[in-house]
Structure 1
């Protein structure tokens, strides 16, 4: 019984478990599914099971469709990742880039920039310092391209170790040039941004350079102005900052930087400015050296004291702001006194004038001083070594009793190009920096008559036109003109008046054409318009203007070149260290006068070297054709000879300044009683030209040609009374002032000089041979009579101020005496 109860209990428990399980299973199904009652048929259970399966199938199908829809949408979204054109937006908004597109573009630019930076970093190498060291000294050569004339600032640098560079100059350069030097990594982002904004806004281009970048520029790369060059410079600065310590970078910078006065590095700068070593520099001196770094030549106290003081104060102010010194210490500093700049030995002697002239021309062509001194250029000059030697020797060969303050300037040009072949500016540039060939000015004297001659030919007066050569003559306005020794020549041709340099004839001619014409021709041939004394007064024909030797050589070269003007120059070419051309002279020329006029003027100018005051050249030049003109200013304060052959032109001038710079009369020397253009200037000219032309072909000048504008029908001037004395030998000596000193003071001037006793022409008696029309003689009017019937007529073109060009006021006796002969 008990077993039956236990079995029945077990069965109930089992049925209870099953029912509980069935209940839990029914609760897990949909609420609409009813529970099967206990003892229900299995068919009902299967139906219920089938209904549940059907509903599950429909749900599964719906889920698949939803998943497919989401997949298609995802595919559509993937195809238009940038959302451009913008989905769901209407025109025109759908075409405006979306934020997604803008962000993508920016990301792409960043990636490209990073890629470029990586490429640039890997592609940029820091060159060896020796690359810069090899290109520091510029050499100047003679025209042969092989003989070295000199160097510009051969590198004057003494490197000192970092621990020997004084702390005060380190602090000063950091305060002035790069206050973030010890914090930055070789570049300054803030400085780069500031420079970029400035450059884009149109300001002067800046580089935002740190000290490290400046070191790279000066020690490795040279000056860079392009953006790519600056970027490479920044990469090098980054690399160097990683390789070297800050102290080493600063030391190399201070050992490399140019401080002016030919000094590279702080050690030589300390010597150049203060005659001491760098370790002994005071705070004030260190600040001044740093102040001149941006532009050493411009900011040197010797060149611009005010600017130097201003920049020096700026450096100290920055040091105070960085607490490198206290305000009290800064206020206590005084501007230091600097040593006078010393000329380099390269400029010693006569070649110093040549080198300075070369530098001057390079600066005019756009070179900077630092570029000239550090560019490593090969500079070919136009100077012929042998011609230069002859010019120097000609001055050295002057007599030993020549006064110490007697000075000479010479210049020799090639008229076909304008090239300066030789130049003597003085004995030693270091002792006398004034170049007597290009800077010293002297009254021209009778060499100015050449311009009146050319103007007359241009206005139609031929070489055989006639003019009164008697002395004295008084013209309208009371202008009285005398010839040398008050000699009278009677009626003379224009050609004879040129050969004998007859003052009265040329004064009449100048009034006839108008004094302005003389001035205009001088300017047309190349004389600067602002030449001192270059006026339109009647006395300008006698040479009251004061040109330089170089200027007169250039204008006479125009005549020698058949009327074509070419500016003189001294630099032929400049080549970089890599062999590329930096500069090449380009010939510029213009026609200043008709070639036939130049030909006839040259014919007239052959008179002085053959039968006139420079006839000693006949022997010196060995019969070579020469054209030229002597000139002596009033009171013999200057003496000239300017002449030419078809191949070369040379100008020579001699003067004598006093201790205070005032003009003095030339003191006689070498056995000459007077120093005039026909004495030592002509001798110097002859020595230079005869030796320079040795071995070259003898070339004749072209003969005179008829000019289309010549005035053939003209009245002849009234002849003056026969002179009671023969004209003196053709000396280039000025007459004394006629209204103050009698001509009796000059009796010895009429005596023939040593080299001329037998050369006086019988035609020196003016009346018998120089009067082509003796029928004009019946009117022996006194010399006081004005030339009332000058050649030509009032309608002749080119007459200047009209009529005879009367002077507006009476010239002084000094003016009318300037340039006799």
Structure 2
């Protein structure tokens, strides 16, 4: 039998391979067209679109806020009625500005911009940076469908609904409905409410500049709460450019468009202290990371916001403030913020009674903190491995290289001529910290870094500019930072001090704990980060820094007469600010008491201001917090009304709660030192203070630089020396019950003698 030889396989011709490739490409393209097309057709018949009236009604349901127990209702936000106006009642300039800012092709597109959609989908797939890609009709649909989630499914629903709406409604009806429903900030839903909230008149009366401002706020509504600021100014400029680019405004008109004047914000329709909480939650929903769930979704779907606010803490905060502030001068203001150090959640928030004519939230208003900032200077020293037993001068003197020829003073007489950092904190001795800084042991930027690490924000917006905190307008941080020269808010101080009690771990301050549906299921919840901040590389050193600062501030509490009931462990620091424009340099204007127990960190601020000028005035009080300063119309220091509010709040809130204690540090920084054995704590309630410089006029007749107005200074350094007067007779406010800072073996410096004098704020 013959065997037929098999021929080897011959390779497929090149043309055949390319034919198959083309075939599969065509199949893929067909699928890419047919599948979305079929889905689009199905969606067209399945997806319904609400009318503008239905959309507005859904928004009007409001957002329900709960206390942190998830059961007790705190209140509602964004539920006030709004006015639906017709096309003829909206200024054409507003319609033009909205189209220019949000959807330049609105008048010609079919409800969506294909290129914008492609960019958005690519962003969802991680191919490019995420961007919205939604035009006016899609944004309108997003409100109607109550979906803020950044998903491809939501985007598909938007596209189908937008196309469907465009086929059944005119462009005029769509833009009118859109402007009647979107959020503009200041609790204003719809353009009519926005025109009233920002300018005090109707939407029909909006000018081109006012329209440009409102159109710019559509993407950043919370930036409208305080105008102007960097975001609102940049958005205003963007709208100007877009109007000109799309031939809706001439170059000449664009050049003449100025940022408009606006009325004082009235944030929210409610009254009373809790309204400030609602405003904070509203801003957090607009700006915070809540899993893409915004106010529109919460309102339409009936979700609830469980806040971090503890009802017991909030009630006690209001009671404590009202108790101490009753029968006080009418111009006296106060604020209290309490946070949970383990999470950064705000437990109590009192920004004032919210019945003064300006509706200012003092809990979030930046003020110079005075000597309450000295713990951050101690933190910077510990980070440099400087022992808290290292001594510096307690005597007034001229420091070489700092304010040449000017003597730095203390407001009282310290009990030591060479004073340790322990005593510098306890007695609030200015010269100790200026001596430390001018010697180069700690630099001013290092103090700023320590404060930022603890939780003081690194920047904020002011007059349309990004301003870095804890430095001057020239970008320089000077030694006055150790004495509280730069402004901070009570909210941020409470959170930053919480990083000390939380063993050097920081959490972001926040008001929203979670968002739940009508069955109580979590739709989103906050996750605490507990980030080590003072030494990320060495966890134990990070902990020891925080615990050592706590140990130093424990001594301040009895020294200030603020010991809590049953000797509950607490650590705190007081501060007082003096002087302002048109005032004597030794007149107090603001006073602070900031501190914590192991469970809660609390900042209290008391100030006085003139509603007409917005500026501070002399701080006088009537509540007899201390027997040494109990007369009516007494000068208020940190150890007076602020300490009383702090003490009353914590005693009430913590009554019946476990008596937790602070844990000790395991490390002796810098090798220690025994401060010559002088570690006995004595009481001396006379405050140390920081003074504000009256503004000066520049040479050439120009207005003073706003960055120097009300700038704090150190008595005897860079502000007028107060007139010489005999200090009032004082007495100990509370006898000591525990020893001073621990004595560590090693170096150290001599203690001083002298008669104990009041030197605490």
- TM-score scaled to structure 1, two decimals? 0.62
Q: 1:705-739 CA distances to partner (integer Å, 9 max, x unpaired)?
A: 66275245x9969x9xxxxxxx9943225499579
* 2:698 paired residue number: none
1:354 and 2:274 correspond: no
Q: Partner of 2:306: helix, strand, or coil?
A: strand
- 8 Å CA contact 2:676–2:749 kept in 1: the answer is no
SS in structure 1 at match of 2:620: coil
The partner residue of 2:543 within 567, 582, 595 is 595
* Matching residue within 497, 505, 517 for 1:564: 505
| Correspondent of 1:696 among 644, 657, 674 | 657
Query: 2:281·2:511 contact (CA, 8 Å) conserved in 1?
Result: yes
Conserved 8 A contact 2:209-2:259: yes
1:628-647 deviation per Cα after TM superposition (whole angstroms, max 9, x unaligned): 22223453333222222221
Distance 1:434 1:178, change over 3 A: closer
Identify the residue that residue 603 of structure 2 maps to in structure 1: 651
Look up the match of 2:628.
none
* Structure-2 separation of matches of 1:762 and 1:138: 50
Distance 1:541 1:819, change over 3 A: farther
How far, CA to CA, are the matches of 1:491 and 1:565 in structure 2?
34
Instruction: Report the counterpart of residue 609 of structure 1 in structure 2.
Output: 557
Partner of 1:435: 361
CA-CA distance at 1:388 after TM superposition: 1.7
The 5 A counterparts of 1:542-553 are: 542-553=483-494
Identify the residue that residue 746 of structure 1 maps to in structure 2. Answer: 726
CA contact (8 A) 1:525 1:555 kept: yes
Contact 1:138 1:374 in 2 (8 A): no
- Is 1:390 aligned to 2:316, yes or no? yes
Which residue is equivalent to 2:594?
Answer: 642
Query: Structure 1 residues 743 and 456, CA, compared in 2 at 3 Å: closer, same or farther?
Result: farther
Give secondary structure in 2 for the equivalent of 1:555.
helix
Query: Could you say what secondary structure the match of 1:410 adopts?
Result: strand
Say which SS state the counterpart of residue 637 (structure 2) adopts.
coil
Q: In 2, Cα distance between the equivalents of 1:536 and 1:104? A: 66
- How far apart are 1:385 and its partner, in Å? 1.9
2:387 aligned residue: 461
The change in CA–CA distance for 1:95 and 1:439 in structure 2 (over 3 A counts) is same
Relative distance call for 1:168 and 1:791 in structure 2 (3 A) is closer
CA contact (8 A) 1:449 1:506 kept: no
Question: What is the alpha-carbon distance in structure 2 between the residues aligned to residue 307 and residue 285 of structure 1?
Answer: 12
Asked if structure 2 preserves the Cα contact closer than 8 Å seen for 1:142 and 1:381, the reply is: yes
- In the TM superposition, residue 687 of structure 1 has moved relative to its aligned partner by 0.8
Partners of 1:576 and 1:582 within 8 A in 2: no
Give the 5 Å matches for 1:125-524.
125-127=46-48, 129=50, 134=58, 137-154=62-79, 156-158=81-83, 192=114, 216-220=141-145, 222=147, 235-236=160-161, 253=177, 257-258=181-182, 260=184, 295=219, 297=221, 303=232, 317=248, 340=263, 343=266, 345-346=268-269, 348-365=271-288, 371-373=294-296, 375-376=298-299, 377-400=303-326, 402-428=328-354, 431-432=357-358, 434-445=360-371, 447-448=373-374, 451-452=377-378, 455=381, 459=385, 461=387, 463=389, 471-472=395-396, 476=400, 480-486=407-413, 489=416, 495=422, 498-503=425-430, 514-516=441-443, 521-524=450-453
Contact kept in structure 1, 2:116 and 2:133, CA below 8 Å: no
Residue pair 2:59, 2:296 contacting (<8 A) in 1 also: no
Deviation of the 1:160 alpha carbon? 7.2
> Is 1:677 the counterpart of 2:602 in the alignment?
no
Question: 1:328-382 CA deviation, whole Å, 9 max, x = no partner?
Answer: xx99xx9999985863544533223323333343444357999435553532221
Q: CA deviation at 1:426?
A: 2.7
Taking the aligned partners of 2:621 and 2:76, their CA distance within structure 1 comes to: 39
The secondary structure found in structure 2 opposite 1:609 is helix
* TM superposition shift of 1:792: 7.3
- Asked whether the 8 Å contact 1:632–1:819 carries over to 2, the reply is no
1:121 aligns with 2:76: no
Q: 1:760 to 1:743 in 2, by over 3 A?
A: farther
Secondary structure of the corresponding residue to residue 397 of structure 1: helix
Task: Tell me the residue number matched to 1:584.
Answer: 526
Q: Quick check: 1:506–1:541 contact (8 Å CA) kept in 2?
A: yes
Cα distance, 1:398 vs structure 2? 2.7
Q: CA deviation at 1:651?
A: 1.7
Indicate how the Cα distance of structure 1 residues 699 and 430 shifts in structure 2: closer, same or farther if over 3 A, else same. same
Q: CA deviation at 1:689?
A: 0.8
Alpha-carbon separation, structure 2, partners of 1:158 and 1:702 = 58
Q: Show the counterpart of 1:97.
A: 19
Q: Which residue of 2 aligns with 1:72?
A: none
- Give unmatched runs, 5+ long, in structure 2: 1-11, 459-467, 535-540, 579-585, 624-630, 692-714, 751-757
> CA 1:125 to 1:515, structure 2 compared with 1: closer, same or farther past 3 Å?
same
Offset at residue 556 of structure 1 (A): 2.3
RMSD: 5.8
CA distance in 1, matches of 2:616, 2:528: 39
Q: Whole-Å Cα distance in 2 between the matches of residues 174 and 489 of structure 1? A: 67
Q: Alpha-carbon deviations, 1:118-168, whole Å to 9, x = none? A: 565346413373996546633333222233334442264455799x98998
**Cα distance in 2 between the residues matched to 1:453 and 1:236:** 57
Alpha-carbon distance in 1 for matches of 2:382, 2:449:
12
**Residues in 2 aligned to 1:418 and 1:399: alpha-carbon distance in whole angstroms:** 27
**What is aligned with 1:631?**
575
1:667 maps onto 2:620 in alignment: yes
Cα distance in 2, alignment partners of residues 283 and 708 from structure 1: 63
1:70-108: CA deviation from partner (whole Å, max 9, x where unpaired): xxxxxxxxxxxxxxxxxxxx954465539xx97999699
Counterparts of 2:31 and 2:415, CA distance in 1 = 98
1:692 to partner: Cα distance: 1.1
C-alpha change, 1:699 and 1:217, in structure 2 (3 Å) is closer
Contact 1:125 1:236 in 2 (8 A): no
- CA distance in 1: counterparts of 2:308 and 2:279, whole angstroms: 14
Cα offset, 1:549, TM superposition: 2.3
Distance 1:760 1:498 in 2: 18
Aligned counterpart for 2:686 among listed residues 694, 717, 731: 731
**Looking at CA atoms only, which structure, 1 or 2, has the larger radius of gyration?**
1
Distance 1:119 1:669, change over 3 A: closer
1: CA distance, partners of 2:451 / 2:128: 45
Equivalent residues of 1:466, 1:492 under 8 A apart: yes
Using structure 2 for the length normalisation, give the TM-score: 0.66
1:590 CA drift (Å): 0.6
Q: Secondary structure at the match of 2:364?
A: coil
Equivalent in the alignment of 1:35: none
Contact 2:593 2:639 in 1 (8 A): yes
Is contact 2:222-2:287 (8 Å) kept? Answer: no
1-structure distance, mates of 2:478, 2:196 = 55
Give me the whole-angstrom Cα distance separating, in 2, the residues matched to 1:681 and 1:388.
Answer: 17
Contact conserved, 1:460 with 1:707, CA < 8 A, in 2? no
Per the TM alignment, residue 675 of structure 1 is displaced from its structure 2 partner at its CA by 1.5
What's the offset of the Cα at 1:685? 0.8
Cα distance in 2, alignment partners of residues 550 and 688 from structure 1 = 16
Instruction: Between 360-369 and 648-657, report the one with greater CA deviation.
Output: 360-369
1:389-427 Cα deviation digits (max 9, x unpaired): 222222222355533333323221222222221122233
Distance 1:112 1:531 in 2: 52
Residue 750 of structure 1 aligns to a residue whose secondary structure is coil
SS of 2:266's partner is coil
Residues 802-821 of structure 1: CA distance to partner in whole angstroms, max 9, x if unpaired?
xxxxxxxxxxxxxxxx9865
Q: Secondary structure at the match of 1:604?
A: helix
How far apart are 1:691 and its partner, in Å?
Answer: 0.8
The 1:355–1:183 alpha-carbon spacing in structure 2 relative to 1, beyond 3 Å, is: closer
